[in-house]
A = this chain, B = another copy of it.
């Protein structure tokens, strides 16, 4: 089965949006994204974790280890760089989104 189109970059954007509000752990992000999007976006853990690791590597997220009821968790939080990254992604998304929409409109209104 071919991968879903137009998804490129969306997981990262949604993750950063959530993390901009409060720190969260990986598993939590997975279920929160599904829930908040009404199952429109159902990214698995194999999708979320690599992105998390990359963002940490790029110093856009910071990690805090904690243990809750015997289970170790890694809480991720935005750094200043991460905030900039989010802004960049929002701008980028906005450009592409409006670009595609207006492209469609131009074609629809032409006679």
Contact = CB atoms under 8 A, between A and B. Distances in A.
A96 B21 contact: no
Interface residues of A, number: 38
Protomer copies = 2
A51 interface: no
A interface: dominant SS: helix
Given A103-B36, A109-B90, A96 B14 contact: no
A68 interface: no
Interface in A23-79: 36-37, 40-41
Interface of A: 4-10, 12-14, 17-18, 20-21, 36-37, 40-41, 89-90, 92-104, 106-107, 109-111
